[in-house]
Structure formats: C-alpha cells, structure tokens
Amino acid sequence: MASTENETETVCRVCGFDGEVFWEGGWPNEAAICPCCGNEPDVGDASVMGLRNYRGYWVGHGAPWDSPSAERKHKRQDWDLLKQMENIPPQWR
C-alpha cells in the first residue's frame, strides 16, 4: 500500500472512468462521486472483493450512468464500457 500513499487517483476503481479525483494520498475523496457508475470512494473500496461486488452489481443492471445529467456531461459519443474498464488499475480488477 505504501506505493499509493502520495498518489492521486483519477480513475474510478469500479468502472475505469477517468476524470475526477477519487483518491488522494491513500485516502478516499469523500466529495467525489463517479458520474459513470455512481460509486463514492470510501475505505471499503480498498478491498478488491468489495470492488468486484459493486462492479458486478452495476454491470448486472446494465451499467447505467449515475444520472442523465452526468451521462450528458461525461459520456462521449464513442463511449465503450469495455474500453473504459481497461483503465482500471490491475490491482483493482
């Protein structure tokens, strides 16, 4: 875990969306919410099993964006869920 201590994470650990500060210095940014999967970073996300549960639940419901306004604002025309998921760091897959 020491290697992440000074890192800023802008990629959602659940869905791979890149564009918000989700983690900073090893701590979750509680003000952040992923516009794509709706995950709010919290210490529970430090477990890859918890992330897989949330991700499985989200994808199982059709991978809906968090809200229509978030979708309009952040979803690109060529958005591809599987491509986005390639952003997920290997340790959180």
Question: Closer to Zn ion at the Cβ: 2 or 24?
Answer: 24
Among 36, 51, 65, 84, binds Zn ion (CB under 5 A): 36
Question: Closer to Zn ion at the Cβ: 2 or 90?
Answer: 90
Tell me how far apart the alpha carbons of residues 11 and 48 are, in angstroms, rounded to a whole number.
Answer: 15
Among 11, 32, 33, 34, binds Zn ion (CB under 5 A): 34
Q: Note whether 14 binds Zn ion by CB under 5 A.
A: yes
Contacts of 49 (CB under 8 A, 6+ apart): none
| Pairs from 58-61 (Cβ < 8 Å, separation ≥ 24) | 58/14, 58/15
Among 11, 37, 51, 88, binds Zn ion (CB under 5 A): 37
Contacts of 1 (CB under 8 A, 6+ apart): 26
Assigned token pair, 48: 């890859």
Piece of 3-11, 30-38, 47-55, 79-87 that binds Zn ion (CB under 5 A): 30-38
Contacts with Zn ion by CB under 5 A lie at 12, 14-15, 17, 34, 36-37, 39
